Amino acid sequence: MPDNPLDMTGRTVIVTGATMGLGRVIATKFLEQGADVVVCARREPEEPVTAGGREAAFVAADVRDPDQVAAVVEYAVGRTGRIDVLVNNAGGAPPAETATVSPRFNEKIVALNLLAPLTFAQAVHPVMSAQQDGGVIINISSVSSIRPSPASAAYGAAKAGLDSLTRTLAHEWGPAIRVLSVMVGLLRTEQAHLYYGDEAGIEAVGQTLALGRMGSPEEIADVVLFCASPLASYMSGASVPVHGGGEVPSYLLATTGEVAQHRPGSEP
């Protein structure tokens, strides 16, 4: 193992949906560790993705379009001759009532959150499988894959499918390619107020988690970097929960209304 197993110098990394939010932070993390990073999104960012005086290459692409996905892969290989890590980060969904949402809406959400990662994984497979040291595919999943997801039924179902896909590809494509998913919990981002209200609301939601706070995109990016590194060399087919311990069981809130007193070590 190298002296610094997190050093990504000489590695080529593709991060989808990386011009803003979590994806941008993940791309920045790999840049900081020396990787050659290619980011893609439908629209070019107002500011390039940079870190340590280095800049990620940008390719405009809709990850739901197989031809555009193939173009991103071709561009990355043309730059360095290899692809070592694919981070399928592009995804998401606006809230929508399941009883009335249109079939077209559901199709788009499933296409973005499940079919697009599969298409991208298929596109990098020939490159990674031919490399002596293979490659790593990391799918960004969500806790919505393992718990009810009201007002985002298609999204939760797609993320559950993404975790299943992770396990399947790990067996089909191993040992050359490791495949993992990072199951993201509640994050405190620049848009948190749109979902949780003011600072008091954000703090209150954070208190429902075992660690008593929401996570940060940087903490998720650290786990993604670890999964891509030799430190995780015996990990494949796993969905890694990064959710602050998860949400407190609802029956505790219903019976006491207090979260903190149910944390380990909080009893008098």
Give catalytic residue positions: 155
Contacts 24+ apart (CB under 8 A), 246-254: 246/143, 246/185, 246/209, 246/210, 247/147, 247/208, 247/209, 248/208, 248/209, 248/210, 253/208
Tokens representing 92 are: 């998401």
Contacts of 55 (CB under 8 A, 6+ apart): 31, 48, 49
Tokens representing 232 are: 């995780």
- DSSP-derived 3-state class of residue 19: coil
Cα–Cα distance between 87 and 85 in angstroms, integer?
A: 6
Centroid of chain to Cα 86: 11
Q: Is 90 exposed, middle or buried (0-12, 13-18, 19+ CB in 10 A)?
A: buried
Q: How would you write 142-209 as a 3-class SS string?
A: EHHHCCCCCCCHHHHHHHHHHHHHHHHHHHHHCCCEEEEEEEECCECCCCHHHHHCCHHHHHHHHCCE
